[in-house]
Structure formats: structure tokens, C-alpha cells
Copies of this chain bind each other. A is one copy, B any other.
Amino acid sequence: MEENREDILKEIIDHGSADEFRQFYESMEPIDFAQLITDYSEEELDQVTTLMDDDDLATLTEEADDDLRIRIAHTLDNKRLLIAFGYMQKDDIVDMLGDFPEGRRKEVINLMKSGDRKIITDLLKYPEESAGGIMTTAYMALRQDLSIGQALDKIRQIGPKTEVIETLYVVNDSRQLVGSVDLKILLSTSRTQSISTIMESSVISVEPEEDQEQVARLVSRYDLNAIPVVSKKKVILGIITVDDVIDVIIQESDEDMLQMGGVSREESLDTTLGESVRMRLPWLLINLATAFLASFTVDLFSDTISKVVALSAIMTIVSGMGGNAGTQTVSILVRRLAQGELSWDDCKKPFLKEIALGLIDGAACGAVTAAIVWPFYGNFYLGLIVFLAMIGNLLVSSVCGFLIPVTIKKLHWDPAIASTIFLTTATDVLGFFIFLGLATLFMPYLLA
């Protein structure tokens, strides 16, 4: 099916008319078409955009990913680009311009009509990952003194140009947000009543500087289909629609997961080799520094190890298990902290639980390990110290696995990035130290 479509498209591009092309384009979703041409050369893209009418070009540009979008824009002269912009939502235009080289961005903005130019330059001021950066200006605001009938007429008239009408926002004469109306209720109310009689006056809104993660949290918590963005003076500036919120949620959770794994948030399977080296190697070198810390800890005990070589095999079990148990605790906390900060009060009970968990899991794993080590090496005391060291290190891993992410969050860093590195440093260094330290103390019994 996909293969076929690719061939048909190539055929149309080489020999077809604009009409045939339009028919093909409209037989599928724009995003699926975008995927079809994602690997096209600049020349092929040029052929595609030449065949497309302006409306279709606009939908394609809205749905294409950043990379393809820029490459499409590259095939268009400024005049055509501005025509396509005429069909696009302002927030998509801003997204696109944000990725343009500075020179062309200025050029295009200067060619815009002054009204559009003002909106676009205002939107461009907000950081890309803020509420202002993801909001759209294509919302509908109804004045509170309208009657339901007047409101309906306005919806008929400008509804098709807005993104969401399920919830309508109500403003006063100074465009300050004073309420919201559910369209379902509006439709089933008599035309003569005033908007203000059916509006809900407490509306959840955000300011444009708000981080997009917080926006996503509000939308998902309160099951909103859009959230209005208002200035400090409560003047409505735009709305953020739920489809953009979904993109934020996916992006942020992908980022957390990649960062936990020690990979940059921007990396994907398609990242070039050079880029991947540049992004991953620094992280590995930081890990290397902490690995040396652990290694020096072992080196401190080289005398002990030289007397009982078996220690060098067993110590890796203790340190490794600390890392595993600690990662469990870290994972739970990073997930929880992604939903918002924890107060110290919230922490008390779960923290004590993690400590108890460290003791119990440590005793269980320690007992199993001891039960194997003792007969294998024929030394009871070797089993005993591995048992004690395992409890000690799983206790360390519980405490650190809990406190490290919470502390990092308090410092307003991202726990997903840095938690694991501090954790494994702690569990490796202390794991080796506890086990080899105990072995040094018990040395007379180990040699017996």
C-alpha cells in the first residue's frame, strides 16, 4: 500500500497535472503525505510545491516536522511563502519562522501586512517552550454583554477561522477574561438570554511565561480542551489547544526517559554519527570520572584483596545490586516529581518506607548471596560479610535513590538528567567501601 503510493506520487510528479496531484493529496491525511516526501531531495520537493495549490501547501507545512518544513520553505520564494502563510494559523507560522535563518526571517516579516507583522513579532518574543510560544491567536472571545443570539451569529461568522469552539471565552470591554461558556449549553439556551447568565466565571488560565510542562499538567488535570493565555492584567492573548498539549506531553516524557538513560533530549535514531558522539561522549566522560572514584576505592583495599582474591569477584555483586535497587527508587521519584514538587512533609512517610524496603530487600538478596558464597568458597565469614554489606549498600541505595532526585528538584534542576549519575557514584563507592571495609575487619576469620 505505502509502496504503491510512493510510486504513484513519483509518477504524478514526473508526468502529472496539478489536478491529478490535488486529487492524490486530498486522498490522504496531510501528515501521511508529509511522511511520504520526508526523504525527498530539494529538487523533488521543488517539483511537489510547484504542483500544489496554496491551501494544500499550507496544510502540508503545518503538519510537516521541523526539518521537512524548513526544506519546503527553502523551495518557495517569499511571495509564495506569504500566500501560504495566509492559510496558516499564526502559531504555526511563528514555529516555522523560529527555525528560519535570521536573515530570511526578517525579510519575510518585513513583507507582511502590518497587522500580521505585529502579531507575529509579539509571538516570536515568547520562548519556544513557554505558554506564549505554543499558544494560537485563532480563538474566539465573546463580549459579555452579547445575547446568546448575537453570540451564535458571531460563531457562525468567525467560527470556521478558530481552532476550538467547544469552549468559548467571555471578555469584558477591556478584553479581560471574565468567564467561559460551554458551547453545548449555549446552543441549548434561548437566543434572548445574555451570555453572562450562562457563563462559568472561574476559568483556569495561564500567563504566557508559564512553562509548557505546567500548561500540560493543568490541561490533563482538569480535562480541558483548551486553556486561555492571559496577561498579568487578565487580558486574553491566545489559547492553547489540546492537540498541542498532547505534543508537549509526549515530548516531555520522551525527554525524561532519554535523559534518565544518559542521552540528550534532542537525540533520536536519525541523529548523525558526529552529533551523537558530541551529545553522548561528554556524558560518558562524566561517568568515567565517577567510575574512577569507585576504582580508587577498590585500590585502597588492594592489600585486603591480595590476601583473599575471591573478594574481587564478590564485591561486584554488592555494588551492582546497590545500583539496581537505587534505580528502582529513582525511577519512581523522577516520575512523581514530573508531576510537581514534593514538600518535605509529603516525603516523610515514603522515605521511611524506602529505608524499610532497603533493609528488607537487602536482607533477602544478602541471604541468597551468602547462601551461595559460603559453600562455594567454603568460608562462613565470607558469607556473613556479603550479607551485611548487601544490607548496608541497599540501605545506601534507598536513602540516596530518594534524596538525590528530591534535592535536585529543590535546586530547580531536572531530576531525570542528573539523578542516576550521583546514585551510581554513591552505590559503587559505598558498596565497595562497605564490603571491602568489612572484609578488612574480618580478615583473621577469612584467612582461617
Residues of A bordering B, CB below 8 Å: 29, 31, 152, 155-157, 159-160, 162, 164-166, 183-185, 187-188, 204, 219-225, 242-243, 245-247, 249-250, 253-254, 256-258, 260-263, 267-270, 272-273, 276-277, 280-281, 283-285, 287-288, 291-292, 294-296, 298-299, 302, 305-306, 309-317, 319-321, 324-325, 327-328, 330-336, 350, 353, 356-357, 360-361, 364-365, 368-369, 372, 424, 428, 432
Contact = CB atoms under 8 A, between A and B. Distances in A.
A188 B160 contact: yes
Contacts of A353: 272-273, 276
A164 B162 contact: no
A52 to B, nearest CB: 20
Given A270-B350, A273-B353, 18 more contacts: A152-B187, A155-B184, A166-B225, A183-B183, A225-B225, A258-B335, A261-B327, A263-B328, A273-B357, A276-B353, A287-B320, A292-B369, A294-B316, A295-B313, A305-B305, A306-B306, A309-B312, A320-B428
A310 to B, nearest CB: 7
A295 B368 CA distance: 14
Nearest to A164: B166
Contacts of A312: 298, 302, 305, 309, 311-312, 315
A98 to B, nearest CB: 20
Contacts of A258: 331-332, 335
Given A280-B361, A312-B305, A319-B316, A332 B285 contact: no
16 contacts: A31-B221, A165-B166, A165-B183, A220-B247, A225-B243, A249-B249, A257-B260, A262-B331, A268-B336, A270-B350, A273-B356, A281-B365, A284-B324, A284-B325, A287-B321, A294-B317
B295 A302 contact: no
Contacts of A428: 316, 320
A222 B428 CA distance: 46
Contact of A295 (B269, B283, B314): B314
A73 B331 CA distance: 32
Contact of A288 (B246, B254, B296, B317): B317
B292 A372 contact: yes
A224 B243 CA distance: 7
B292 A332 contact: no
A447 to B, nearest CB: 14
| A29, A224, A242: most-surrounded residue (chain B CB, <10 A) | A242
Contacts of A156: 187-188
Contacts of A424: 320
A334 B242 contact: no
A311 B325 CA distance: 27
A416 to B, nearest CB: 9
B223 A243 contact: yes
Nearest to A26: B202
A67 to B, nearest CB: 16
Nearest to A244: B223
A29 B335 CA distance: 24
Contacts of A281: 360-361, 364-365
A331 B260 contact: yes
A314 to B, nearest CB: 6
Nearest to A272: B353
